[in-house]
């Protein structure tokens, strides 16, 4: 051995312990290489193994690797096309999934088995995962190359604009039955009202023609796509789902589509691609012969960067708990990666020694309203298997910095309020007085007849329902202390938030404070 080689070996940095195991077909290795470079540069120790083994053999290798104690992430690269059992060409580029018996959802029309990748991440056979697992369900090296580039672009984006505080919700009408619908409606209100911090902005597009949150049903699909294309941190669908479509909006005498695989070519985010979440049946059935809606969206050039979704029939209570625990992982625990968020949510689905107020309200509602209250624990356990991550479990979640916001607790219409802002960074600031999410800034019209409401009226009401701001101002925010002033409009009423967003050169920051606008509160009456 030459002296130069010895010096090179001595000076080389030690290899990182294996925290990531990748199962990857040989023909996809070259397309995966930029991802490997990106992840190793971030300090991850990665081992890559062949997919040409049975599911049992792959699981054995996962467990053997985990014995070293450092393994945390598992990445499955390739589809799970059922035809691979007899087609060697498909087998060469697929990674098998696992099937567990369905016990609860099968009572409501699901297949007798549930497709799940959770089985690979469960190291001790208790159905609770110890690893964060995700699947890149690509059918070709070209698909993988494109997805890898989108993952890298997402993490290296220098766009610190308002999309980083935006969450879009789309909801179907329900129709699971009176009791289940009551659980789902209560869950939806809780998820949006309590699960998302008040510093973040939300929109709701709701498939009930009588709701102020419903655009013209004839344009519902177009509005859904437009909302998606605005860009957001998360895009969430709640309601009925099928393998290649979600529900339709029902009006007297007619129905209108929401979203299907036929429209995925229209997805074109203006800013960073959102993380999509389907709290719905079947939309994540990646083991079907034809690619599911989640796969088609992930493949679209302007689609989501990752999708959280269910493979079979999902149930209102358990999928609502999944949603609430995901929100907790992202906004309370500030999980570093999407896989960490999914892992935390699944573990808390089963073991929750410190339930949030939202989780407690969901559990209470389910116990009171569910026709099968005795099966709630089994329902949650089944949904740990049902929900899977189609995407990179190492995907780093954007983390907005916290802004401290201080304002008087009450004000009157016409007052000028002083807002103290303590920001961790300097940048372009947006300061807003907004109505609380369970309130509107206007009295919406009551819709007694679908035909009697014009398209323009529908769209205007929908726009106003999703515009909670009483007043807003743009200003430069300094690092440290800044004071902003807002004039409270004469029409402002009720529980509100002062919301602050700062877009800097290297990050963004968010913050909010509660404020009640009370006409009876006069300047003289306040201390």
Q: Concatenated DSSP letters for 458-494?
A: HHHHHHHHT--EEEEEEEEE-SEEEEEEEEPPTT--E
Which CATH number belongs to the domain containing residue 459 in this structure? 2.60.40.1930
pLDDT value of residue 201: 97
Instruction: Report angle CA 212, 188, 458 to the nearest 5 degrees.
Output: 15
Distance of CA 212 to the CA centre of its chain: 24
- Residues 54, 92, single domain; the answer is yes
Give residues with Cβ within 8 angstroms of 56, minimum separation 6.
Answer: none
CB 431 within 8 Å of CB 502 = no
Identify which of 160, 138, 4, 128 has the alpha carbon closest to the alpha carbon of residue 76: 138
Q: Is residue 8 part of a domain?
A: no
Is residue 488 within 8 A of residue 470, CB to CB? The reply is yes
Residue 151 located in a structural domain? no
d(CA 416, CA 419): 10
Domain that holds residue 477: 401-445+453-517
Residue 9 forms part of a structural domain: no
Same domain, 70 and 34: yes
Q: How many other β-carbons are positioned within 10 Å of the β-carbon of residue 232? A: 29
pLDDT at 390: 98
Tokens at 425, concatenated: 């960074």
| Tens-digit pLDDT profile for residues 413-458 | 999 999 999 999 999 999 999 999 999 999 999 988 888 789 999 9
Residue 379 lies in a domain: yes
Residue 3 lies in a domain: no
Element (H or E) spanning 238, and its range? strand 234-238
Query: Are 195 and 342 members of one domain?
Result: yes
Query: What's 21's domain CATH number?
Result: 3.40.50.10390
* Pair 432, 381 in one domain: no
Among 322, 515, 330, 319, residue whose Cα is nearest residue 415: 515
Looking at the fold, whether 241 and 306 belong to one and the same domain comes out as yes
Task: Give the 3-state secondary structure of residue 385.
Answer: helix
CA distance 101 to 301: 36
Residues 6+ apart with CB under 8 A from 311: 114, 115, 116, 282, 284, 285, 286, 287, 386, 388
Q: What share of the chain is helix, strand, coil (3-state, %, to 5)?
A: 35, 25, 40
Task: State the DSSP string of 265-301.
Answer: GG-B-SSSPPEEEEESSSTT-TTSSS--HHHHHHHST
Asked if 428 and 474 count as a contact pair (C-beta separation under 8 A), the reply is yes
Count of CB atoms within 10 A of residue 526's CB?
13
Q: What is the pLDDT of residue 525?
A: 36
Cα–Cα dist 526/204, whole Å: 36
Determine the 3-state secondary structure of 242 from DSSP. Answer: coil
- In eight-state DSSP terms, residue 241 is B
Which residue in the block uniquely carries the two structure tokens 């209100």? 189
pLDDT value of position 12? 40
* Residue whose pair of structure tokens reads 């907005």 in the numeric block: 400
Non-local CB neighbours of 98 within 8 Å, separated by 6+ positions: 55, 59, 115, 116, 117, 119, 120
Per-residue pLDDT of the chain (527 residues; tens, 9 = 90+): 454 433 333 344 557 899 999 999 999 999 999 999 999 999 999 999 999 999 999 999 999 999 999 999 999 999 999 888 889 999 999 999 999 999 998 988 889 999 999 999 999 999 999 999 999 999 999 999 999 999 999 999 999 999 999 999 999 876 555 555 555 566 666 778 778 999 999 999 999 998 999 999 999 999 999 999 999 999 999 999 999 999 999 999 899 999 999 999 999 998 889 999 999 999 999 999 999 999 999 999 999 999 999 999 998 889 889 998 999 999 999 999 999 999 999 999 998 777 777 787 777 777 766 656 668 899 999 999 999 999 999 999 999 999 999 999 999 999 999 999 999 999 999 999 999 999 999 999 998 888 878 999 999 999 999 999 999 999 999 999 999 999 999 999 999 999 999 999 999 999 999 999 998 865 433 43
Q: In terms of domains, do 239 and 384 share one?
A: yes
From 369, 390, 411, give the residue that closes a domain. Answer: 390
Q: pLDDT digits over 476-515, tens only?
A: 999 999 999 999 999 999 999 999 999 999 999 999 999 9
The residue among 387, 455, 442, 38 whose CA lies nearest residue 220 is 455
Residue 523, SS3? coil
My answer on whether 242 and 299 are in the same domain is yes
Whether 409 and 501 share a structural domain? yes
Q: Please give the pLDDT value at position 186.
A: 62
**pLDDT value at residue 373:** 64
Q: 372 and 408 in one domain?
A: no
Q: Where residue 351 sits, what CATH number does that domain have?
A: 3.40.50.1460
Domain-located, residue 141: no
Query: CA dihedral in degrees (72, 76, 82, 83; nearest 10)?
Result: -150
Residues 527, 513: Cα–Cα separation, whole Å = 19
H helix runs in 122-275, sequence order: 141-156, 178-193, 220-230
Asked if residue 146 is part of any domain, the answer here is no
CB 492 within 8 A of CB 518: no
Choose one of 360, 390, 420: the last residue of a domain: 390
> How many separate domains does the chain show?
3
Cα angle 20, 326, 208; round to 5: 135
Residue 148 lies in a domain: no
* Shared domain check, 116 and 227: no
HSE-CB at 353 with a 13 A cutoff on CA atoms is: 0
**In this structure, what token pair is assigned to residue 188?**
């939806």
pLDDT, position 180? 57
Q: Are 234 and 277 in contact (CB under 8 A)?
A: yes
pLDDT tens sequence across 20-38: 999 999 999 999 999 999 9
Domain co-membership, 345 together with 196: yes
- Strand extents, DSSP E, 286-377: 306-310
Q: Are residues 185 and 108 in the same domain?
A: no
């Amino acid at each position: 051995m030459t002296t130069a080689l010895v010096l090179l070996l001595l000076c080389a940095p030690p290899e990182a312990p294996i925290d990531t195991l990748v199962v990857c077909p040989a023909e996809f290795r070259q397309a995966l290489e930029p991802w490997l470079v990106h992840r190793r540069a971030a300090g991850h120790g990665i081992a890559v193994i062949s997919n040409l083994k049975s599911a049992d053999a792959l699981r054995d290798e996962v467990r053997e690797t985990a014995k070293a104690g450092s393994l945390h992430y598992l990445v499955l690269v390739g589809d799970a096309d059922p035809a691979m059992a007899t087609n060697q060409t498909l087998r060469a580029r697929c990674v098998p999934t696992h099937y567990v018996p369905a016990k609860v959802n099968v009572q409501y029309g699901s297949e007798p088995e549930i497709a799940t990748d959770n089985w690979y991440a469960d190291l001790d056979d208790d159905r609770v995962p110890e690893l964060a697992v995700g699947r890149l369900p690509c059918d070709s090296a070209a698909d993988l190359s494109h997805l890898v580039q989108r993952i890298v672009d997402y993490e290296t984006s220098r766009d610190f604009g308002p999309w980083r505080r935006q969450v879009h919700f789309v909801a179907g009408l329900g129709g699971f039955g009176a009791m289940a619908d009551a659980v789902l409606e209560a869950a939806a209100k809780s998820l949006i009202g309590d699960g998302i911090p008040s510093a973040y902005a939300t929109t709701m597009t709701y498939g009930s023609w009588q709701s102020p949150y419903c655009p013209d049903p004839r344009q519902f699909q177009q509005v859904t796509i437009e909302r998606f294309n605005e860009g957001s941190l998360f895009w969430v669908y709640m309601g009925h789902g099928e393998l290649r479509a979600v529900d339709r909006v029902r009006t007297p005498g007619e129905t209108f589509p929401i979203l299907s695989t036929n429209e995925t070519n229209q997805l074109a985010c203006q800013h960073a691609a959102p993380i999509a979440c389907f709290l719905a049946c079947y939309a994540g059935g990646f083991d079907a012969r034809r690619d599911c809606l989640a796969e088609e969206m992930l493949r679209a050039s302007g689609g989501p960067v990752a999708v959280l979704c269910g493979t079979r029939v999902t149930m209102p209570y358990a999928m609502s708990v999944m949603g609430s625990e995901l929100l907790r992982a992202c906004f309370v625990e500030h999980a570093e990666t999407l896989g960490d968020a999914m892992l935390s949510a699944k573990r808390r689905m089963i073991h929750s020694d410190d339930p949030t107020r939202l989780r407690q309200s969901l559990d209470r509602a389910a116990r009171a309203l569910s026709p099968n209250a005795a099966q709630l624990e089994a329902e949650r356990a089944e949904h740990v298997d049902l929900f899977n991550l189609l995407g990179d479990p190492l995907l780093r979640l954007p983390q907005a910095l916290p802004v401290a916001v201080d304002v008087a607790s009450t004000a009157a219409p016409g007052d000028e309020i002083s807002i103290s802002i303590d920001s961790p960074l300097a940048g372009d600031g947006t300061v807003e007085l907004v109505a609380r999410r369970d309130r509107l800034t206007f009295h919406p019209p009551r819709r007694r007849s679908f035909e009697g409401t014009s398209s323009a009226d529908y769209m205007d009401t929908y726009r106003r329902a999703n515009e909670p701001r009483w007043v807003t101002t743009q200003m430069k925010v300094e690092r440290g202390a800044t004071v902003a002033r807002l004039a409270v409009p004469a029409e402002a009423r009720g529980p509100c938030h002062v919301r602050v967003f700062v877009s800097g050169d290297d990050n963004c920051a968010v913050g909010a404070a509660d404020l009640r606008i009370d006409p009876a509160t006069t300047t003289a009456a306040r201390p």
